[in-house]
Amino acid sequence: MKKIYSVLVENRTGVLSKVAGLFARRSFNIDSLAVGETEDKAVSRMTIVSSGDKCVLEQVEKQLNKKLDVIKVKTFDEFDSISRELMLIKVKYNKNNRRDIMENCEIMHAQIVDMSKSYMMIQICDVPERVQLLLSMLRGISIAEVARTGTLALTKCIENEK
């Protein structure tokens, strides 16, 4: 079972280390972690995807709420939130596989953002499952480098939201 935690924290040195340490000390797994400033420069949002059984995931939330630097913890399920991941992937291509790569990009709504004589860089921003699917589709090609952001998520828009 996976859960997405949206954790608002004070934007200070060492907060990421403290949160990561919480997971490490208790042997909780972090599947994905993304951190960035919010609209308020004094606050950062950590989006953490963790997996485990129901008891472990409830414990993760309780432990996060105990941290002094943590302002608020929200958990998302896939039906009440929108999640995205960005991946850049550099592949080596030749005249034999160039068309296949371009067709895969078109099917997956990925963009070719840079090219040289023998390399192309592809960008995809989509749900994590589709990002992983594109990576799997390109496995047979010579992949040079991959960079992924990790999952980002927010709750869906609600009219009465403050």
- Evaluate if residue 42 carries a pLDDT over 80: yes
In this prediction, residue 107 has a pLDDT band, given cuts at 50, 70 and 90, of very high
- Give residue 137's domain range: 83-153
Which whole number is the average pLDDT over 93-111?
95
User: Where a domain ends, among 28, 45, 76?
Assistant: 76
Q: How many domains does the chain have?
A: 2
- Asked whether residue 162 is domain-assigned, the answer is no
Least confident segment among 23-27, 151-155, 156-160: 156-160
What is the 3-state secondary structure of the chain?
Answer: CEEEEEEEEECCCCHHHHHHHHHHHCCCEEEEEEEEECCCCCEEEEEEEEECCHHHHHHHHHHHHHCCCEEEEEEECCCCEEEEEEEEEEEECCCCCHHHHHHHHHHHCCEEEEECCCEEEEEEEECHHHHHHHHHHCCCCEEEEEEECCCEEEECCCCCCC
- Evaluate if residue 162 carries a pLDDT over 60: no
- Evaluate if residue 126 carries a pLDDT over 70: yes
Query: Residue 86 corresponds to which amino acid?
Result: L
- Asked whether residue 160 is domain-assigned, the answer is no
Q: What is the pLDDT of residues 67-95, one digit of tens each?
A: 889 999 999 877 788 999 999 999 999 99
In this prediction, residue 109 has a pLDDT band, given cuts at 50, 70 and 90, of very high
